[in-house]
Amino acid sequence: MLRTHLAGSLRPEHAEQTVTLTGWVARRRDHGGVIFIDLRDASGVAQVVFRESDVAEQAHRLRAEYCVKVTGVVEERPEGNQNYEIPTGAIEVDARELEVLAESAPLPFQLDDQPGEEARLKYRYLDLRRPGPGHALRLRSKVNAAAREVLGGHEFVEVETPTLTRSTPEGARDFLVPARLHPGEFYALPQSPQLFKQLLMVSGVERYYQIARCYRDEDFRADRQPEFTQLDIEMSFVTQEDVVLLAEEILVALWRLVGHEITTPIPQMTYAEAMRRFGSDKPDLRFGLELVECKEFFAETTFRVFQAEYVGAVVMPGGASQPRRQLDAWQEWAKQRGAKGLAYVLVGEDGELTGPVAKNLTDAERAGLADHVGAKPGDCIFFAAGPTKPMRALLGAARGEIARKQDLIDPDAWAFVWVVDAPMFEPTADATESGDVALGHSAWTAVHHAFTSPKPESMDTFDTDPGSALAYAYDIVCNGNEIGGGSIRIHRKDIQERVFAVMGISHEEAQEKFGFLLDAFSYGAPPHGGIAFGWDRITSLLAGVDSIREVIAFPKSGGGVDPLTDAPAPITPQQRKESGIDAKPEPKGAARGGATSETEPSAN
């Protein structure tokens, strides 16, 4: 090594030792010809002082982010000069030799500034020298190690599955890769290792995991990346409870990295309850503000608006004092979500109900309303009335908005919940509205995915009554984020074919797309199930950052562009020609090029 010690490791017990440090000039100060620098390496920072004239002379040319090698003697700082904010603050290194390993041009931004997103990505190698981004990357490595330790303790086998594979739509668009040796044909990058991990169960692997790169060619709405990572797990001969137990053990290990002890078992809530009480399948349980069902309360109402399939309310504490302008803003907010508006009633300090809705209520309704919804004087009651699903979703969104506006969320809180017993199917229209590509050509599409088993109680009826069937699925939610989800899978060919049929996937189409899985199920497939954790999201929660981009070493910007390498880019005509993109596909089943016989091995 070019150094003898790590800068951040130096303590008073090193005093009088001659050490060699390497790192970067984080700060440089000149006190009357004596140069002080903060020398930073991966371990931390140490103060180096250039007192002797020769070396101080050389140190004059140092600038921010020069990469240097310094040899000097560790000295305890004089009483009063210690800096107790850094671990090395009781010492300094009296420099005797300085070597500039690499100079630095003036920086495009100062490392202690907050540069813009574009600059951060273009100069990501400088951005990562900043404490926050650098820490996030190191934390991610620890997250991997903690999960692997749990999995290793349970005899899990880490398996790499292919990434040049077959296009099998799973709710999003595939990235394609031209296959040069088969002009006009393409590989697809996997949206998840789902099919391969199920094949591994058929193989008798029994316990599989992989920190797997996945690919979805979606529009870059919200916080999405074209490539992302999941911790992918599959187990044979298990029930839901076994997967849940393992998942909780992993989560406990991860949150210990940030000093939080998750209480287990993590509570479970049915999908139906989550929708009823929180208007969301990923309820944020850090705060209350539960939705209140008002249908029965308004059973006799004469107010037309409330004569609906669903009437519900959510209370905004202290919301009665909102100025008119804010109440109007709520209407705008609701309209942006496709609703007509957001009805409200204000509860005066004297208990009097006001607002446009109040006058449509009967005296009895007015008398009982605050009690029914749990509103206190000074609160605002928001209502949604109409079809159940979108109205609950609207109130669920309002609930989150209220909590943020009224600062009801403890920033240090961690609230975990399992959401179980989701519906097996949903109407295709709902799925496509939410942006997913529906698989199949039916009125029904899978809520989880096509390989999820119905719950035992739905096994006989899921195809005759798809709307009532429950899936053997479980999602883990943290602070309102779905951080993982899994299911017990179908392991029988007949059931898989029935599920495909509900989704309008014909026998031929199923055979063409998933024939290999159906074939595999013919050879003694074990019962199995698993889970996948959203690794980027989990790491971003642990790192305390909002975007998954913060925990990805080299993320893409919004349009899928890497401002650093300037990918994607045009290709050369020769690349285009060789790739075979422009060829007309041969009919499938024609003779293939290439041999499969063993040939002389050579290192890859």
Q: Which of residues 20-59 bind a copy of itself (CB under 8 A)?
A: 22, 24-25, 40-42
Q: How far apart are CB 32 and a copy of itself at their closest, in Å?
A: 26
Q: How far is the CB of 393 from a copy of itself (least distance, A)?
A: 14
**Binding residues among 460-499 for a copy of itself as defined by CB under 8 A:** 481-483, 491-492
Question: Rounded distance, CA 127 to CA 599, Å?
Answer: 47
Among 300, 326, 329, 516, binds a copy of itself (CB under 8 A): 516
Q: What angle do CA 162, 198, 521 make, to 5 degrees?
A: 120
Q: Does residue 544 touch a copy of itself according to CB under 8 A?
A: no
Q: Which of 178, 279, 312, 454 binds a copy of itself (CB under 8 A)?
A: 178
With CB under 8 A as the contact rule, the residue among 83, 167, 331, 360 that binds a copy of itself is: 167
Applying CB under 8 A, which part among 8-16, 257-265, 497-505, 518-526 lies near a copy of itself? Answer: 518-526
CB of 392 to a copy of itself, least distance (A): 18
Q: Which of 318, 374, 526, 544 binds a copy of itself (CB under 8 A)?
A: 526
HEC profile for 470-511?
EECEEEEEECCEEEEEEEEECCCHHHHHHHHHHCCCCHHHHH
Helix axes 388-405, 271-278, angle to 10 degrees: 60
Residue 434 makes contact with a copy of itself by CB under 8 A: no
Euclidean distance between CA atoms 446 and 536, whole angstroms: 25
Beta-bridge partner residues of 567: 562
By CB under 8 A, tell whether 534 contacts a copy of itself.
yes
Under rule CB under 8 A, residue 109 binds a copy of itself: no
Q: Where are the alpha helices (DSSP H) in 345-458?
A: 363-373, 388-405, 428-433
From 385, 525, 531, 543, residue interacting with a copy of itself (rule: CB under 8 A): 525
Which residue type is seen at 107? L
Shortest separation between residue 188's beta carbon and a copy of itself, angstroms: 7
Determine, following the binding rule CB under 8 A, whether residue 590 of this chain makes contact with a copy of itself: no
Angle between helices 507-520 and 493-502 (to 10 degrees): 150
Cα–Cα distance, 579 to 431 (Å, whole number): 35
Q: Alpha-carbon Rg of the chain, whole angstroms? A: 30
Which residue of 77, 224, 372, 389 would you call a contact of a copy of itself, by CB under 8 A? 224
Dihedral of CA 94/99/105/109: which sign? negative
In whole angstroms, give the CA distance from residue 433 to residue 445. 12
Binding mask 114-153 for a copy of itself (x = CB under 8 A): ---xx--x-xxxxxxx----x--xx-xx--xx--x---x-
Q: Which two tokens stand for residue 387?
A: 């079809």
Q: Is 140 flagged in the annotation as binding?
A: no
Of the candidate residues 97, 219, 309, 410, the single one contacting a copy of itself (CB under 8 A): 219
Q: 53 or 596: whose CB is closer to a copy of itself?
A: 596
- Say whether 536 counts as a known binding-site residue: yes
Tell which positions 365-404 bind a copy of itself, by CB under 8 A.
Answer: none
Q: How far is the CB of 40 from a copy of itself (least distance, A)?
A: 8
The Cα 308–Cα 385 span in angstroms is: 6
- The separation between the first and the last C-alpha atoms of the chain, rounded to the nearest angstrom, is 30
Candidates 352-360, 415-423, 503-511, 556-564: pick the segment binding a copy of itself (CB under 8 A): 556-564
Element (H, E) at 196: helix 194-202
- Asked whether position 531 contacts a copy of itself by CB under 8 A, the answer is no
Stretch that binds a copy of itself, among 73-81, 317-325, 377-385, 529-537 (CB under 8 A): 529-537
Is residue 273 part of the contact set for a copy of itself (CB under 8 A)?
no
> Given the structure tokens 């240097």, which residue do they identify?
68
Could you give the CA distance from residue 148 to residue 156 in angstroms, rounded to a whole number?
Answer: 9
Give min distance, CB of 496 to a copy of itself, in A: 12
| Site size toward a copy of itself, by CB under 8 A | 157
C-beta neighbour count of 403 within 10 angstroms: 19
Residue 183 vs 378, nearer CB to a copy of itself: 183
Among residues 73, 159, 272, 305, the one that binds a copy of itself under rule CB under 8 A: 159
Helices 324-336 and 388-405 cross at an angle (nearest 10°) of 140
Closer by beta carbon to a copy of itself, 211 or else 252: 211
**Pairing status of strand 343-347 against strand 157-158:** unpaired
CA distances from 552 to 43, 111, 134, 226, 266 (A): 21, 19, 11, 12, 28
Whether residue 225 is annotated as binding a ligand: the answer is yes
Q: Which residues within the stretch 62-101 sit at the binding site for a copy of itself (CB under 8 A)? A: 65-67, 69, 101
Report whether 366 belongs to an annotated binding site.
no
CB of 180 vs a copy of itself, minimal distance in Å: 6
Tokens encoding 54:
């020769």
299 counts as binding a copy of itself under rule CB under 8 A: no
SS3 258: coil
B/e letters for 22-49, b = 16+ CB within 10 Å, e = fewer, are: bbbbbebeeeeeebbbbbbbebbbbbbb
Closer to a copy of itself at the Cβ: 236 or 428? 236
- Residue set of the binding site for L-aspartate: 170, 216, 448, 489
